[in-house]
């Protein structure tokens, strides 16, 4: 790999480190443009970059193991703009530069990223729920929170089965206060853990060349087209439900942003996976891992990730 390419990857990582740190400051309701607040965003930045790095290097090492030429991760920074929902990054991607020769290798590369990112996310959530700060933490952000609850900006993150499970079963010794979904994004490790679940689920939707699309094609062969159509239809319906409040119909399920995601899937990612040269069926062990990975999609998926 040339110095120029290494410099590009490193520059994108440093830029993403900066933008995620600034985003972490903003989630604490501090001024992100005040450099004295910069260190306050580091826990958020380290956690979110840890999840993304584990995910992408899962793909990278699986590709290298099978002799498939792949780039290092390209991290994607996004600036924090006032009034916009922003995590400081659009994630990261790697690119394979040689053909993937078989379903088996396609499967291994496809699932390695989500599984690695999922394990990293579990670690972040476990730490976040077992190291919750005292109630004074939320009082510093909203001084009258316990007198007038829900004083935030009206934003609430959505529920997933796994996040709710963690919030119920994990004991914490520091405080008896579990932040609601309208406040948990002020807690860096809860916010990044939630983000990790959300991104894992988005990548595992079994459509096209998403990670879930690789998995679906490798497991189901030509039937992956039916799986893709069903998954696309479900996402479209959930996205359509997100518009119901705009016509006066209240709904607790749906997010209009899923419509934007369906446009990306249809026009950019494409619905169907291209064929590979060797279409030998997967062995039972890989099929078992595949079903477990689809289970990760179910427990991570958030139908209504954001509501105002």
Domain ranges across the chain:
3-307
Burial 165-203 (b: 16+ CB within 10 A, else e): ebbeeeeeeeeebbbebbbbbbbbbbbbbbbbbbbbbbb
Which pLDDT value is given to residue 284?
97
Cα–Cα nearest to 39, from 49, 50, 24, 53: 24
Structure pTM? 0.94
What's the CA gap between 17 and 45, in Å, rounded?
6
Cα–Cα nearest to 132, from 167, 101, 97: 167
Which 8-state DSSP code applies to residue 267? Answer: I
Cα–Cα nearest to 72, from 169, 137, 2, 135: 2
In this structure, what token pair is assigned to residue 132? 């919750």
Which pLDDT value is given to residue 198?
97
In this structure, what token pair is assigned to residue 170? 């994990």
The one-digit pLDDT tens for each residue of the chain (308 residues) are 788 899 999 999 999 999 999 999 999 999 888 889 999 999 999 999 999 999 999 999 999 999 999 999 999 999 877 667 789 999 999 999 999 999 999 999 999 999 999 999 999 999 999 999 888 899 888 888 887 655 545 789 999 999 999 998 876 555 578 899 999 999 999 999 999 999 999 999 999 999 999 999 999 999 999 999 999 999 999 999 999 877 777 777 889 999 999 999 999 999 999 999 999 999 999 999 999 999 999 999 999 999 87
Q: What is the 3-state secondary structure (H, E, C) of 192-216?
A: HHHHHHHHHHHHHCCCCCCHHHHHH
What's the CA gap between 199 and 305, in Å, rounded?
11
Cα atoms found within 13 Å of the Cα of residue 222, Cβ hemisphere only: 0
Q: Would you say 88 and 76 are in contact if contact means Cβ atoms under 8 Å apart?
A: no
Contacts of 299 (CB under 8 A, 6+ apart): 160, 161, 162, 165
Which pLDDT value is given to residue 16?
98
Contacts of 59 (CB under 8 A, 6+ apart): 70, 94, 109, 110, 112, 113
H or E stretch covering 92 = strand 89-93
- Give the position of tokens 């996205």: 239
Cα–Cα nearest to 190, from 237, 131, 147: 131
Q: Would you say 74 and 92 are in contact if contact means Cβ atoms under 8 Å apart?
A: yes
Which pLDDT value is given to residue 96?
94
Which pLDDT value is given to residue 248?
75
What's the CA gap between 97 and 303, in Å, rounded?
34
What's the CA gap between 189 and 116, in Å, rounded?
18
- Give the position of tokens 């916009």: 84
């Amino acid at each position: 790999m040339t110095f120029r390419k290494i410099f590009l990857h490193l520059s994108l990582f440093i830029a993403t480190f900066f933008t995620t740190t600034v985003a972490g400051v903003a989630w604490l309701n501090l001024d992100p443009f005040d450099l004295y607040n910069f260190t306050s965003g580091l826990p958020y930045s380290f956690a979110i970059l840890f999840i993304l790095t584990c995910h992408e290097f899962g793909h990278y090492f699986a590709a290298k193991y099978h002799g498939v030429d792949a780039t290092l991760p390209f991290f994607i920074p996004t600036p924090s703009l006032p009034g916009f929902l922003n995590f400081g990054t659009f994630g990261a991607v790697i690119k394979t530069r040689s053909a993937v020769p078989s379903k088996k290798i396609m499967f291994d590369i496809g699932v390695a990223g989500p599984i690695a990112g999922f394990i990293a996310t579990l670690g972040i959530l476990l730490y976040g729920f077992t190291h919750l700060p005292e109630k004074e933490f939320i009082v510093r952000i909203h001084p009258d929170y316990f007198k007038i609850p829900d004083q935030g900006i009206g934003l609430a993150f959505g529920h997933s089965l796994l996040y709710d499970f963690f919030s119920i079963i994990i004991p914490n010794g520091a405080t008896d206060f579990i932040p609601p979904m309208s406040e948990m994004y002020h807690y860096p490790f809860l916010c990044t853990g939630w983000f990790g679940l959300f991104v894992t689920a988005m990548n595992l939707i079994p459509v096209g060349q998403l990670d879930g699309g690789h998995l679906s094609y490798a497991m189901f062969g030509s039937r992956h087209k039916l799986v893709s159509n069903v998954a696309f239809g479900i996402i479209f319906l959930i996205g359509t439900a997100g518009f119901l409040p705009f016509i006066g119909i209240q709904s607790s399920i749906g997010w209009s942003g899923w419509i934007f995601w369906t446009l990306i899937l249809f026009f950019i990612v494409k619905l169907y996976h291209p064929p590979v040269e060797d279409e030998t069926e997967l062995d039972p062990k890989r099929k078992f891992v595949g079903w477990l990975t689809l289970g990760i999609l179910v427990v991570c998926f958030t139908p209504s990730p954001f509501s105002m």
